[in-house]
Structure 1
Amino acid sequence: MVEQSPSSEIILDHRNDLSDANSVDSAFSIDSGVVASQDLHEYDSSSSTAEKLFYELQRVKEDLKYKDHEILRANQIRESTDREIEDLTTSLFESAHAMVDQAKQAQANAEQKLKVSNQTIDALVLENVQLKKSISELKQILSSCRTSMDMSPNHNHIDEVLLREFTSWDENPSIERDASLFIYRVYNEDILPCLSFPNTELSSKVLEAIENNCVTMEVCHSTGNLKMCSLMGEVCQCDFRIRLSEDGLWYFISRLARNRIASVCDFFTFVRHVQSGLVKSSTEVRFDRILERRKQMAFARLGL
Protein backbone atom coordinates (compact mmCIF):
# COMPACT_ATOMS: atom_id res chain seq x y z
CA MET A 1 0.00 0.00 0.00
CA VAL A 2 1.40 3.27 -1.08
CA GLU A 3 1.45 6.00 1.49
CA GLN A 4 0.35 9.45 0.61
CA SER A 5 2.26 12.48 1.59
CA PRO A 6 0.75 15.23 3.75
CA SER A 7 0.74 17.67 0.84
CA SER A 8 -1.27 15.27 -1.23
CA GLU A 9 -3.83 15.01 1.50
CA ILE A 10 -4.06 18.72 1.72
CA ILE A 11 -4.67 18.99 -2.00
CA LEU A 12 -7.26 16.27 -1.86
CA ASP A 13 -9.06 17.93 1.01
CA HIS A 14 -9.07 21.20 -0.85
CA ARG A 15 -10.61 19.53 -3.87
CA ASN A 16 -13.22 17.96 -1.71
CA ASP A 17 -14.01 21.32 -0.21
CA LEU A 18 -14.34 22.82 -3.65
CA SER A 19 -16.58 19.99 -4.69
CA ASP A 20 -18.73 20.48 -1.63
CA ALA A 21 -18.84 24.18 -2.24
CA ASN A 22 -19.89 23.67 -5.82
CA SER A 23 -22.50 21.22 -4.66
CA VAL A 24 -23.83 23.75 -2.18
CA ASP A 25 -23.82 26.53 -4.77
CA SER A 26 -25.56 24.30 -7.23
CA ALA A 27 -28.13 23.34 -4.69
CA PHE A 28 -28.63 26.97 -3.68
CA SER A 29 -28.99 27.99 -7.29
CA ILE A 30 -31.59 25.36 -7.88
CA ASP A 31 -33.51 26.36 -4.76
CA SER A 32 -33.35 30.03 -5.70
CA GLY A 33 -34.69 29.27 -9.16
CA VAL A 34 -37.61 27.38 -7.72
CA VAL A 35 -38.38 30.17 -5.28
CA ALA A 36 -38.14 32.86 -7.98
CA SER A 37 -40.35 30.90 -10.31
CA GLN A 38 -43.04 30.57 -7.63
CA ASP A 39 -42.91 34.29 -6.79
CA LEU A 40 -43.21 35.25 -10.46
CA HIS A 41 -46.23 32.99 -10.88
CA GLU A 42 -47.87 34.48 -7.81
CA TYR A 43 -47.12 38.01 -9.08
CA ASP A 44 -48.64 37.29 -12.50
CA SER A 45 -51.76 35.86 -10.87
CA SER A 46 -52.14 38.89 -8.58
CA SER A 47 -51.57 41.28 -11.49
CA SER A 48 -54.26 39.57 -13.59
CA THR A 49 -56.74 39.68 -10.70
CA ALA A 50 -56.03 43.38 -10.09
CA GLU A 51 -56.47 44.12 -13.76
CA LYS A 52 -59.78 42.29 -13.79
CA LEU A 53 -60.87 44.16 -10.69
CA PHE A 54 -59.80 47.46 -12.29
CA TYR A 55 -61.79 46.77 -15.44
CA GLU A 56 -64.74 45.63 -13.35
CA LEU A 57 -64.49 48.84 -11.32
CA GLN A 58 -64.40 50.90 -14.51
CA ARG A 59 -67.42 49.05 -15.84
CA VAL A 60 -69.31 49.61 -12.58
CA LYS A 61 -68.40 53.31 -12.73
CA GLU A 62 -69.65 53.53 -16.30
CA ASP A 63 -72.86 51.75 -15.31
CA LEU A 64 -73.33 54.12 -12.37
CA LYS A 65 -72.66 57.11 -14.61
CA TYR A 66 -75.17 55.83 -17.19
CA LYS A 67 -77.75 55.13 -14.49
CA ASP A 68 -77.22 58.62 -13.03
CA HIS A 69 -77.78 60.06 -16.49
CA GLU A 70 -80.94 57.97 -16.94
CA ILE A 71 -82.21 59.00 -13.50
CA LEU A 72 -81.56 62.67 -14.33
CA ARG A 73 -83.35 62.31 -17.67
CA ALA A 74 -86.26 60.51 -15.99
CA ASN A 75 -86.53 63.32 -13.41
CA GLN A 76 -86.55 65.89 -16.20
CA ILE A 77 -89.26 63.97 -18.04
CA ARG A 78 -91.28 63.69 -14.83
CA GLU A 79 -90.93 67.42 -14.14
CA SER A 80 -91.89 68.24 -17.72
CA THR A 81 -94.87 65.89 -17.51
CA ASP A 82 -95.93 67.42 -14.20
CA ARG A 83 -95.77 70.90 -15.73
CA GLU A 84 -97.77 69.78 -18.75
CA ILE A 85 -100.38 68.17 -16.50
CA GLU A 86 -100.55 71.32 -14.39
CA ASP A 87 -100.86 73.53 -17.49
CA LEU A 88 -103.49 71.21 -18.94
CA THR A 89 -105.43 71.22 -15.68
CA THR A 90 -105.28 75.02 -15.53
CA SER A 91 -106.37 75.27 -19.16
CA LEU A 92 -109.25 72.87 -18.56
CA PHE A 93 -110.42 74.86 -15.55
CA GLU A 94 -110.17 78.12 -17.51
CA SER A 95 -112.07 76.57 -20.42
CA ALA A 96 -114.71 75.26 -18.04
CA HIS A 97 -115.10 78.69 -16.41
CA ALA A 98 -115.28 80.32 -19.84
CA MET A 99 -117.95 77.86 -20.95
CA VAL A 100 -119.92 78.52 -17.78
CA ASP A 101 -119.64 82.28 -18.33
CA GLN A 102 -120.72 81.90 -21.95
CA ALA A 103 -123.66 79.76 -20.90
CA LYS A 104 -124.69 82.35 -18.31
CA GLN A 105 -124.36 85.13 -20.88
CA ALA A 106 -126.36 83.15 -23.44
CA GLN A 107 -129.03 82.48 -20.83
CA ALA A 108 -129.15 86.17 -19.92
CA ASN A 109 -129.44 87.14 -23.59
CA ALA A 110 -132.18 84.58 -24.13
CA GLU A 111 -134.07 85.85 -21.10
CA GLN A 112 -133.69 89.43 -22.34
CA LYS A 113 -134.93 88.46 -25.81
CA LEU A 114 -137.84 86.61 -24.23
CA LYS A 115 -138.68 89.68 -22.17
CA VAL A 116 -138.54 91.93 -25.24
CA SER A 117 -140.61 89.43 -27.22
CA ASN A 118 -143.24 89.33 -24.50
CA GLN A 119 -143.33 93.12 -24.41
CA THR A 120 -143.63 93.21 -28.20
CA ILE A 121 -146.46 90.69 -28.11
CA ASP A 122 -148.24 92.72 -25.43
CA ALA A 123 -147.84 95.88 -27.49
CA LEU A 124 -149.08 94.15 -30.64
CA VAL A 125 -152.06 92.72 -28.79
CA LEU A 126 -152.89 96.17 -27.44
CA GLU A 127 -152.46 97.72 -30.87
CA ASN A 128 -154.63 95.01 -32.39
CA VAL A 129 -157.36 95.75 -29.88
CA GLN A 130 -157.11 99.46 -30.61
CA LEU A 131 -157.16 98.83 -34.36
CA LYS A 132 -160.25 96.66 -34.03
CA LYS A 133 -161.87 99.41 -32.01
CA SER A 134 -160.91 102.00 -34.63
CA ILE A 135 -162.21 99.80 -37.44
CA SER A 136 -165.48 99.35 -35.61
CA GLU A 137 -165.78 103.10 -35.15
CA LEU A 138 -164.94 103.72 -38.81
CA LYS A 139 -167.56 101.20 -39.88
CA GLN A 140 -170.13 103.05 -37.83
CA ILE A 141 -169.06 106.37 -39.34
CA LEU A 142 -169.17 104.98 -42.87
CA SER A 143 -172.53 103.43 -42.20
CA SER A 144 -173.89 106.78 -41.09
CA CYS A 145 -172.28 108.48 -44.08
CA ARG A 146 -173.95 106.10 -46.51
CA THR A 147 -177.32 107.36 -45.40
CA SER A 148 -176.43 110.92 -46.42
CA MET A 149 -174.29 110.43 -49.52
CA ASP A 150 -173.67 107.95 -52.27
CA MET A 151 -170.25 106.36 -51.81
CA SER A 152 -169.83 105.68 -55.54
CA PRO A 153 -169.01 109.00 -57.21
CA ASN A 154 -171.69 110.47 -59.42
CA HIS A 155 -170.09 112.82 -61.89
CA ASN A 156 -173.42 114.57 -62.43
CA HIS A 157 -173.13 116.00 -58.90
CA ILE A 158 -169.42 116.79 -58.58
CA ASP A 159 -167.78 120.17 -58.75
CA GLU A 160 -167.02 120.76 -62.42
CA VAL A 161 -164.39 123.31 -61.49
CA LEU A 162 -162.48 120.69 -59.50
CA LEU A 163 -162.77 118.21 -62.35
CA ARG A 164 -161.43 120.72 -64.88
CA GLU A 165 -158.54 121.62 -62.59
CA PHE A 166 -157.72 117.94 -62.07
CA THR A 167 -157.99 117.20 -65.80
CA SER A 168 -155.61 120.05 -66.57
CA TRP A 169 -153.17 118.81 -63.92
CA ASP A 170 -153.52 115.20 -65.09
CA GLU A 171 -152.17 116.12 -68.51
CA ASN A 172 -148.82 117.00 -66.93
CA PRO A 173 -148.82 115.72 -63.32
CA SER A 174 -146.52 117.47 -60.86
CA ILE A 175 -146.20 117.42 -57.10
CA GLU A 176 -145.05 121.03 -56.86
CA ARG A 177 -147.41 123.26 -54.90
CA ASP A 178 -147.55 126.07 -57.47
CA ALA A 179 -147.47 123.82 -60.53
CA SER A 180 -151.25 123.89 -60.99
CA LEU A 181 -154.46 125.23 -59.49
CA PHE A 182 -155.46 121.68 -58.54
CA ILE A 183 -152.42 120.97 -56.32
CA TYR A 184 -152.55 124.50 -54.93
CA ARG A 185 -156.19 123.95 -53.89
CA VAL A 186 -155.40 120.58 -52.28
CA TYR A 187 -152.56 122.17 -50.30
CA ASN A 188 -154.74 124.98 -48.98
CA GLU A 189 -157.91 122.99 -48.34
CA ASP A 190 -156.55 119.62 -47.17
CA ILE A 191 -152.79 119.24 -46.70
CA LEU A 192 -151.97 122.38 -44.71
CA PRO A 193 -155.02 122.10 -42.40
CA CYS A 194 -154.29 118.40 -41.84
CA LEU A 195 -150.68 119.15 -40.83
CA SER A 196 -151.54 122.18 -38.74
CA PHE A 197 -150.31 121.20 -35.25
CA PRO A 198 -149.57 123.33 -32.18
CA ASN A 199 -145.84 122.76 -32.79
CA THR A 200 -145.75 124.82 -35.98
CA GLU A 201 -142.00 124.53 -36.48
CA LEU A 202 -142.04 120.75 -36.39
CA SER A 203 -145.21 120.75 -38.55
CA SER A 204 -143.33 122.62 -41.29
CA LYS A 205 -140.47 120.12 -41.07
CA VAL A 206 -142.92 117.22 -41.34
CA LEU A 207 -144.47 118.70 -44.50
CA GLU A 208 -141.03 119.27 -46.01
CA ALA A 209 -140.02 115.68 -45.23
CA ILE A 210 -143.23 114.36 -46.81
CA GLU A 211 -142.57 116.42 -49.93
CA ASN A 212 -139.03 114.99 -50.08
CA ASN A 213 -140.35 111.47 -49.43
CA CYS A 214 -138.06 110.84 -46.45
CA VAL A 215 -140.54 110.31 -43.61
CA THR A 216 -140.32 107.18 -41.46
CA MET A 217 -143.06 106.19 -39.00
CA GLU A 218 -143.19 103.11 -36.85
CA VAL A 219 -144.96 101.63 -33.85
CA CYS A 220 -143.29 101.89 -30.43
CA HIS A 221 -143.07 98.32 -29.13
CA SER A 222 -143.52 99.05 -25.44
CA THR A 223 -146.28 99.54 -22.92
CA GLY A 224 -147.11 102.60 -20.87
CA ASN A 225 -146.23 105.13 -23.59
CA LEU A 226 -147.55 108.20 -21.81
CA LYS A 227 -145.26 110.82 -23.27
CA MET A 228 -145.33 114.34 -24.58
CA CYS A 229 -146.60 114.29 -28.16
CA SER A 230 -144.02 116.22 -30.16
CA LEU A 231 -146.68 117.69 -32.49
CA MET A 232 -149.71 118.10 -30.23
CA GLY A 233 -147.68 119.41 -27.28
CA GLU A 234 -149.56 117.44 -24.64
CA VAL A 235 -149.02 114.28 -22.63
CA CYS A 236 -150.95 111.38 -24.11
CA GLN A 237 -150.60 107.79 -25.27
CA CYS A 238 -147.78 107.97 -27.83
CA ASP A 239 -147.72 104.59 -29.54
CA PHE A 240 -145.85 105.86 -32.60
CA ARG A 241 -142.73 107.75 -33.47
CA ILE A 242 -141.61 109.62 -36.57
CA ARG A 243 -138.24 110.42 -38.13
CA LEU A 244 -137.80 113.09 -40.79
CA SER A 245 -134.51 111.89 -42.29
CA GLU A 246 -132.38 108.78 -42.47
CA ASP A 247 -130.19 109.81 -39.53
CA GLY A 248 -132.59 112.25 -37.87
CA LEU A 249 -134.10 112.28 -34.42
CA TRP A 250 -137.14 110.24 -33.47
CA TYR A 251 -140.24 112.17 -32.32
CA PHE A 252 -142.95 110.47 -30.29
CA ILE A 253 -146.45 111.19 -31.58
CA SER A 254 -150.01 110.22 -30.71
CA ARG A 255 -152.34 108.13 -32.85
CA LEU A 256 -154.28 111.24 -33.94
CA ALA A 257 -151.09 112.92 -35.21
CA ARG A 258 -150.00 109.68 -36.86
CA ASN A 259 -153.32 109.29 -38.73
CA ARG A 260 -153.18 112.86 -40.02
CA ILE A 261 -149.61 112.45 -41.26
CA ALA A 262 -150.41 109.04 -42.77
CA SER A 263 -153.36 110.42 -44.75
CA VAL A 264 -151.16 113.16 -46.25
CA CYS A 265 -148.43 110.62 -47.06
CA ASP A 266 -151.02 108.41 -48.75
CA PHE A 267 -152.12 111.33 -50.94
CA PHE A 268 -148.53 112.16 -51.94
CA THR A 269 -147.80 108.50 -52.68
CA PHE A 270 -150.77 108.22 -55.02
CA VAL A 271 -149.86 111.48 -56.77
CA ARG A 272 -146.29 110.22 -57.29
CA HIS A 273 -147.66 107.00 -58.79
CA VAL A 274 -149.82 109.03 -61.18
CA GLN A 275 -146.83 111.20 -62.03
CA SER A 276 -144.73 108.08 -62.73
CA GLY A 277 -147.42 106.56 -64.95
CA LEU A 278 -148.02 103.61 -62.63
CA VAL A 279 -151.79 104.21 -62.34
CA LYS A 280 -153.24 102.67 -65.49
CA SER A 281 -156.82 103.90 -65.38
CA SER A 282 -159.05 106.58 -66.85
CA THR A 283 -159.03 110.21 -65.77
CA GLU A 284 -162.37 109.79 -64.02
CA VAL A 285 -161.12 106.83 -61.97
CA ARG A 286 -157.97 108.69 -60.96
CA PHE A 287 -160.10 111.69 -60.00
CA ASP A 288 -162.30 109.46 -57.84
CA ARG A 289 -159.23 108.10 -56.07
CA ILE A 290 -157.94 111.62 -55.49
CA LEU A 291 -161.28 112.60 -53.96
CA GLU A 292 -161.16 109.52 -51.73
CA ARG A 293 -157.74 110.52 -50.40
CA ARG A 294 -158.86 114.10 -49.84
CA LYS A 295 -161.79 112.73 -47.88
CA GLN A 296 -159.41 110.61 -45.77
CA MET A 297 -157.36 113.73 -44.96
CA ALA A 298 -160.56 115.48 -43.86
CA PHE A 299 -161.57 112.51 -41.68
CA ALA A 300 -158.09 112.29 -40.12
CA ARG A 301 -158.09 116.02 -39.38
CA LEU A 302 -161.39 115.58 -37.55
CA GLY A 303 -160.08 112.54 -35.66
CA LEU A 304 -162.43 110.13 -37.43
Structure 2
Amino acid sequence: MWSGPPQPDEGLPTGLSAVSVPWKNLGPSKGHRESPGSLVENPASRKEAQGEEHSAAAPLDVSRLRSSSMEIREKGSEFLKEELYKAQKELKLKDEECERLCKVRAQLEQELEELTASLFQEAHKMVREANMKQAASEKQLKEAWGKIDMLQAEVTALKTLVITSTPASPNRELHPQLLSPTKAGPRKGHSRHKSTSSSLCPVVCPTAGHIPTPDKDGKELSALVRAAVEDNTLTIEPVASQTLPTVKVPTVECNNINTCALSGLARTCHHRIRLGDSESHYYISPSSRARITAVCNFFTYIRYIQQGLVRQDAEPMFWEIMRLRKGMSLAKLGFFPQEA
Protein backbone atom coordinates (compact mmCIF):
# COMPACT_ATOMS: atom_id res chain seq x y z
CA MET A 1 0.00 0.00 0.00
CA TRP A 2 1.29 3.59 -0.83
CA SER A 3 1.20 5.69 2.23
CA GLY A 4 2.23 8.97 0.57
CA PRO A 5 4.78 10.69 -1.63
CA PRO A 6 8.33 9.67 -1.00
CA GLN A 7 10.41 11.85 1.24
CA PRO A 8 13.77 13.13 0.00
CA ASP A 9 16.80 11.35 1.28
CA GLU A 10 18.75 13.23 3.91
CA GLY A 11 22.04 12.27 2.29
CA LEU A 12 21.34 14.10 -0.99
CA PRO A 13 22.78 17.58 -1.69
CA THR A 14 20.71 20.54 -0.73
CA GLY A 15 20.60 21.80 -4.28
CA LEU A 16 18.89 18.64 -5.51
CA SER A 17 15.20 18.18 -4.99
CA ALA A 18 13.36 14.91 -5.29
CA VAL A 19 11.22 14.51 -8.33
CA SER A 20 7.76 13.25 -7.66
CA VAL A 21 6.86 10.33 -9.79
CA PRO A 22 3.26 9.18 -10.00
CA TRP A 23 2.70 5.84 -8.62
CA LYS A 24 -0.01 3.39 -9.68
CA ASN A 25 -2.25 2.29 -6.97
CA LEU A 26 -2.97 -1.29 -7.72
CA GLY A 27 -5.73 -2.49 -5.60
CA PRO A 28 -6.76 -6.16 -5.07
CA SER A 29 -8.83 -7.74 -7.75
CA LYS A 30 -12.14 -9.10 -7.04
CA GLY A 31 -11.32 -12.62 -7.91
CA HIS A 32 -8.03 -12.67 -6.19
CA ARG A 33 -7.09 -12.02 -2.64
CA GLU A 34 -3.78 -10.70 -1.66
CA SER A 35 -1.38 -13.22 -0.75
CA PRO A 36 1.16 -12.79 1.94
CA GLY A 37 3.94 -13.06 -0.63
CA SER A 38 2.76 -9.98 -2.44
CA LEU A 39 2.79 -8.09 0.73
CA VAL A 40 6.34 -9.11 1.27
CA GLU A 41 7.47 -8.02 -2.17
CA ASN A 42 6.18 -4.39 -1.94
CA PRO A 43 9.19 -2.97 -0.12
CA ALA A 44 11.58 -4.25 -2.78
CA SER A 45 9.62 -2.73 -5.57
CA ARG A 46 9.50 0.46 -3.64
CA LYS A 47 13.26 0.60 -3.42
CA GLU A 48 13.60 0.00 -7.14
CA ALA A 49 11.20 2.83 -7.88
CA GLN A 50 13.20 5.14 -5.67
CA GLY A 51 16.43 4.18 -7.43
CA GLU A 52 14.91 4.93 -10.80
CA GLU A 53 13.67 8.27 -9.47
CA HIS A 54 17.15 9.21 -8.29
CA SER A 55 18.83 8.27 -11.55
CA ALA A 56 16.38 10.42 -13.52
CA ALA A 57 16.80 13.51 -11.24
CA ALA A 58 20.65 13.54 -11.29
CA PRO A 59 21.16 14.94 -14.87
CA LEU A 60 18.61 17.65 -14.21
CA ASP A 61 20.41 18.83 -11.10
CA VAL A 62 23.81 18.94 -12.88
CA SER A 63 22.45 21.00 -15.73
CA ARG A 64 20.88 23.40 -13.30
CA LEU A 65 24.16 23.74 -11.44
CA ARG A 66 26.03 24.38 -14.66
CA SER A 67 23.54 27.01 -15.81
CA SER A 68 23.62 28.76 -12.45
CA SER A 69 27.45 28.77 -12.38
CA MET A 70 27.52 30.17 -15.91
CA GLU A 71 25.14 32.91 -14.88
CA ILE A 72 27.28 33.70 -11.86
CA ARG A 73 30.40 33.82 -14.02
CA GLU A 74 28.73 36.07 -16.56
CA LYS A 75 27.48 38.40 -13.86
CA GLY A 76 30.92 38.42 -12.19
CA SER A 77 32.67 39.13 -15.47
CA GLU A 78 30.21 41.90 -16.26
CA PHE A 79 30.76 43.39 -12.78
CA LEU A 80 34.50 43.16 -13.15
CA LYS A 81 34.32 44.73 -16.60
CA GLU A 82 32.26 47.60 -15.19
CA GLU A 83 34.72 48.07 -12.32
CA LEU A 84 37.65 47.93 -14.74
CA TYR A 85 36.01 50.50 -16.98
CA LYS A 86 35.36 52.77 -14.01
CA ALA A 87 38.98 52.39 -12.84
CA GLN A 88 40.31 53.09 -16.31
CA LYS A 89 38.08 56.13 -16.57
CA GLU A 90 39.25 57.40 -13.19
CA LEU A 91 42.89 56.80 -14.16
CA LYS A 92 42.36 58.67 -17.41
CA LEU A 93 40.84 61.59 -15.52
CA LYS A 94 43.71 61.54 -13.06
CA ASP A 95 46.23 61.43 -15.93
CA GLU A 96 44.53 64.40 -17.55
CA GLU A 97 44.56 66.25 -14.22
CA CYS A 98 48.24 65.44 -13.71
CA GLU A 99 49.05 66.60 -17.21
CA ARG A 100 47.18 69.84 -16.63
CA LEU A 101 48.94 70.38 -13.32
CA CYS A 102 52.31 69.70 -14.98
CA LYS A 103 51.55 72.29 -17.63
CA VAL A 104 50.56 74.78 -14.94
CA ARG A 105 53.75 74.04 -12.99
CA ALA A 106 55.89 74.41 -16.11
CA GLN A 107 54.19 77.71 -16.93
CA LEU A 108 54.70 78.97 -13.38
CA GLU A 109 58.35 77.93 -13.44
CA GLN A 110 58.85 79.69 -16.75
CA GLU A 111 57.17 82.84 -15.46
CA LEU A 112 59.26 82.65 -12.29
CA GLU A 113 62.46 82.30 -14.32
CA GLU A 114 61.48 85.22 -16.54
CA LEU A 115 60.63 87.32 -13.50
CA THR A 116 63.90 86.40 -11.80
CA ALA A 117 65.87 87.17 -14.96
CA SER A 118 64.12 90.53 -15.36
CA LEU A 119 64.75 91.36 -11.71
CA PHE A 120 68.43 90.47 -12.03
CA GLN A 121 68.72 92.50 -15.22
CA GLU A 122 67.05 95.47 -13.56
CA ALA A 123 69.26 95.10 -10.51
CA HIS A 124 72.39 94.86 -12.67
CA LYS A 125 71.24 97.88 -14.64
CA MET A 126 70.67 99.89 -11.47
CA VAL A 127 74.03 98.81 -10.06
CA ARG A 128 75.77 99.68 -13.34
CA GLU A 129 74.10 103.10 -13.45
CA ALA A 130 74.99 103.69 -9.80
CA ASN A 131 78.61 102.69 -10.46
CA MET A 132 78.74 104.95 -13.50
CA LYS A 133 77.30 107.85 -11.51
CA GLN A 134 79.71 107.17 -8.66
CA ALA A 135 82.65 106.98 -11.06
CA ALA A 136 81.55 110.21 -12.74
CA SER A 137 81.15 111.89 -9.34
CA GLU A 138 84.55 110.66 -8.19
CA LYS A 139 86.07 111.84 -11.46
CA GLN A 140 84.45 115.25 -11.11
CA LEU A 141 85.56 115.44 -7.48
CA LYS A 142 89.09 114.46 -8.44
CA GLU A 143 89.12 117.04 -11.21
CA ALA A 144 87.75 119.64 -8.82
CA TRP A 145 90.43 118.84 -6.26
CA GLY A 146 93.02 118.94 -9.03
CA LYS A 147 91.76 122.34 -10.14
CA ILE A 148 91.81 123.56 -6.55
CA ASP A 149 95.34 122.30 -6.04
CA MET A 150 96.39 123.85 -9.36
CA LEU A 151 94.81 127.16 -8.45
CA GLN A 152 96.45 127.08 -5.05
CA ALA A 153 99.79 126.27 -6.65
CA GLU A 154 99.31 129.05 -9.17
CA VAL A 155 98.42 131.46 -6.39
CA THR A 156 101.53 130.40 -4.50
CA ALA A 157 103.62 130.76 -7.64
CA LEU A 158 102.14 134.17 -8.31
CA LYS A 159 102.89 135.18 -4.76
CA THR A 160 106.42 133.92 -5.27
CA LEU A 161 106.92 135.54 -8.67
CA VAL A 162 104.74 138.59 -8.19
CA ILE A 163 105.49 141.53 -10.46
CA THR A 164 104.34 144.95 -9.39
CA SER A 165 104.18 147.86 -11.82
CA THR A 166 104.73 150.55 -9.18
CA PRO A 167 107.00 149.20 -6.44
CA ALA A 168 107.59 151.28 -3.40
CA SER A 169 110.98 152.81 -2.75
CA PRO A 170 113.06 150.83 -0.27
CA ASN A 171 113.72 152.42 3.09
CA ARG A 172 117.43 152.90 3.46
CA GLU A 173 117.15 152.95 7.24
CA LEU A 174 115.60 149.45 7.23
CA HIS A 175 117.90 148.15 4.47
CA PRO A 176 121.45 149.22 5.26
CA GLN A 177 122.83 146.68 2.77
CA LEU A 178 121.51 148.62 -0.23
CA LEU A 179 124.07 150.50 -2.23
CA SER A 180 123.54 154.25 -2.49
CA PRO A 181 124.33 155.82 -5.87
CA THR A 182 126.10 159.23 -5.91
CA LYS A 183 125.40 162.30 -7.88
CA ALA A 184 127.83 165.15 -8.55
CA GLY A 185 126.78 168.62 -7.47
CA PRO A 186 127.06 171.66 -9.73
CA ARG A 187 129.04 173.54 -7.13
CA LYS A 188 132.44 172.97 -5.70
CA GLY A 189 132.74 170.81 -2.65
CA HIS A 190 130.01 168.49 -1.55
CA SER A 191 127.16 168.49 0.86
CA ARG A 192 125.45 165.50 2.63
CA HIS A 193 121.99 165.35 4.13
CA LYS A 194 122.51 165.39 7.85
CA SER A 195 119.32 163.53 8.73
CA THR A 196 120.31 160.42 6.79
CA SER A 197 124.10 160.49 7.01
CA SER A 198 124.15 158.64 10.31
CA SER A 199 121.83 155.82 9.12
CA LEU A 200 123.45 155.16 5.73
CA CYS A 201 125.93 152.35 5.40
CA PRO A 202 129.54 153.34 4.73
CA VAL A 203 129.31 152.84 0.98
CA VAL A 204 130.62 155.24 -1.67
CA CYS A 205 131.08 155.00 -5.42
CA PRO A 206 133.82 152.61 -6.55
CA THR A 207 135.66 155.54 -8.14
CA ALA A 208 136.35 156.85 -4.66
CA GLY A 209 138.56 153.82 -3.95
CA HIS A 210 136.22 152.10 -1.48
CA ILE A 211 134.77 148.54 -1.77
CA PRO A 212 131.09 147.86 -0.87
CA THR A 213 130.70 146.00 2.41
CA PRO A 214 127.25 144.27 2.59
CA ASP A 215 126.16 142.53 5.77
CA LYS A 216 126.54 139.05 4.28
CA ASP A 217 129.11 137.96 1.80
CA GLY A 218 128.23 136.42 -1.57
CA LYS A 219 128.58 132.77 -0.53
CA GLU A 220 126.31 133.10 2.47
CA LEU A 221 123.72 135.02 0.47
CA SER A 222 123.86 132.39 -2.30
CA ALA A 223 123.15 129.67 0.27
CA LEU A 224 120.20 131.64 1.61
CA VAL A 225 118.87 132.19 -1.93
CA ARG A 226 119.22 128.49 -2.71
CA ALA A 227 117.33 127.55 0.47
CA ALA A 228 114.59 130.07 -0.33
CA VAL A 229 114.23 128.64 -3.85
CA GLU A 230 113.91 125.12 -2.48
CA ASP A 231 111.36 126.26 0.12
CA ASN A 232 109.46 128.32 -2.48
CA THR A 233 109.79 131.49 -0.39
CA LEU A 234 111.84 133.67 -2.76
CA THR A 235 110.31 136.86 -4.11
CA ILE A 236 111.64 138.86 -7.08
CA GLU A 237 110.41 142.40 -7.52
CA PRO A 238 111.18 144.92 -10.23
CA VAL A 239 112.63 148.27 -9.23
CA ALA A 240 111.99 151.40 -11.28
CA SER A 241 114.97 153.63 -11.94
CA GLN A 242 113.29 156.69 -10.50
CA THR A 243 112.67 154.93 -7.18
CA LEU A 244 116.31 154.16 -6.57
CA PRO A 245 117.66 156.20 -3.69
CA THR A 246 120.41 158.63 -4.57
CA VAL A 247 123.13 160.23 -2.49
CA LYS A 248 124.98 163.29 -3.66
CA VAL A 249 128.77 162.87 -3.66
CA PRO A 250 131.09 165.61 -4.98
CA THR A 251 132.35 165.13 -8.56
CA VAL A 252 130.88 161.55 -8.83
CA GLU A 253 127.96 160.57 -11.12
CA CYS A 254 126.43 157.18 -10.18
CA ASN A 255 122.84 157.36 -11.39
CA ASN A 256 121.13 153.95 -11.99
CA ILE A 257 124.32 152.16 -11.00
CA ASN A 258 124.13 149.59 -8.24
CA THR A 259 126.08 146.61 -7.09
CA CYS A 260 124.73 143.08 -7.51
CA ALA A 261 124.39 141.48 -4.11
CA LEU A 262 125.20 138.02 -5.47
CA SER A 263 128.06 138.63 -7.88
CA GLY A 264 129.43 141.78 -6.31
CA LEU A 265 129.77 143.41 -9.74
CA ALA A 266 128.68 146.91 -10.54
CA ARG A 267 125.69 146.43 -12.78
CA THR A 268 122.45 148.23 -13.44
CA CYS A 269 120.00 146.45 -11.16
CA HIS A 270 116.39 146.45 -12.28
CA HIS A 271 115.20 143.83 -9.78
CA ARG A 272 115.56 142.98 -6.15
CA ILE A 273 114.93 139.81 -4.17
CA ARG A 274 113.38 139.14 -0.79
CA LEU A 275 113.97 135.98 1.23
CA GLY A 276 110.86 134.60 2.92
CA ASP A 277 109.03 136.99 5.21
CA SER A 278 112.11 139.12 5.75
CA GLU A 279 111.87 142.82 5.01
CA SER A 280 115.41 142.93 3.67
CA HIS A 281 115.81 143.36 -0.09
CA TYR A 282 118.86 142.58 -2.19
CA TYR A 283 119.43 144.13 -5.59
CA ILE A 284 120.47 141.71 -8.32
CA SER A 285 121.79 142.15 -11.83
CA PRO A 286 119.96 140.86 -14.95
CA SER A 287 122.29 137.87 -15.26
CA SER A 288 121.70 136.87 -11.64
CA ARG A 289 117.96 137.33 -12.11
CA ALA A 290 118.02 135.09 -15.22
CA ARG A 291 119.83 132.35 -13.35
CA ILE A 292 117.48 132.59 -10.35
CA THR A 293 114.32 132.58 -12.49
CA ALA A 294 115.56 129.58 -14.50
CA VAL A 295 116.14 127.62 -11.29
CA CYS A 296 112.77 128.76 -9.88
CA ASN A 297 110.97 127.63 -13.04
CA PHE A 298 112.66 124.23 -12.83
CA PHE A 299 111.79 123.76 -9.15
CA THR A 300 108.21 124.93 -9.72
CA TYR A 301 107.66 122.42 -12.51
CA ILE A 302 109.11 119.59 -10.40
CA ARG A 303 106.86 120.66 -7.53
CA TYR A 304 103.82 120.59 -9.83
CA ILE A 305 104.73 117.04 -10.88
CA GLN A 306 105.06 115.94 -7.26
CA GLN A 307 101.66 117.44 -6.43
CA GLY A 308 100.03 115.69 -9.40
CA LEU A 309 99.08 118.90 -11.17
CA VAL A 310 100.80 117.98 -14.44
CA ARG A 311 98.50 115.54 -16.27
CA GLN A 312 100.79 114.42 -19.08
CA ASP A 313 102.63 111.32 -20.13
CA ALA A 314 106.21 110.65 -19.08
CA GLU A 315 107.74 111.65 -22.40
CA PRO A 316 106.30 115.22 -22.57
CA MET A 317 107.30 115.79 -18.92
CA PHE A 318 110.82 114.54 -19.68
CA TRP A 319 111.24 116.93 -22.60
CA GLU A 320 109.87 119.82 -20.54
CA ILE A 321 112.39 119.06 -17.80
CA MET A 322 115.15 118.95 -20.41
CA ARG A 323 114.01 122.32 -21.76
CA LEU A 324 114.12 123.83 -18.27
CA ARG A 325 117.57 122.38 -17.66
CA LYS A 326 118.70 123.83 -20.96
CA GLY A 327 117.43 127.23 -19.80
CA MET A 328 119.42 126.90 -16.56
CA SER A 329 122.55 125.97 -18.47
CA LEU A 330 122.17 128.91 -20.87
CA ALA A 331 121.55 131.32 -17.97
CA LYS A 332 124.64 129.97 -16.23
CA LEU A 333 126.69 130.60 -19.36
CA GLY A 334 125.34 134.14 -19.54
CA PHE A 335 122.83 133.72 -22.38
CA PHE A 336 119.59 135.39 -21.41
CA PRO A 337 117.18 137.75 -23.19
CA GLN A 338 118.29 141.33 -22.93
CA GLU A 339 115.73 143.67 -21.39
CA ALA A 340 114.84 146.91 -23.08
User: TM-score range with shorter-chain normalisation?
Assistant: 0.3 to 0.5
Q: Which has the higher helix share?
A: 1
TM-score between the two structures when normalised by the length of structure 1: 0.39
Over alpha carbons, which structure has the higher Rg? 2
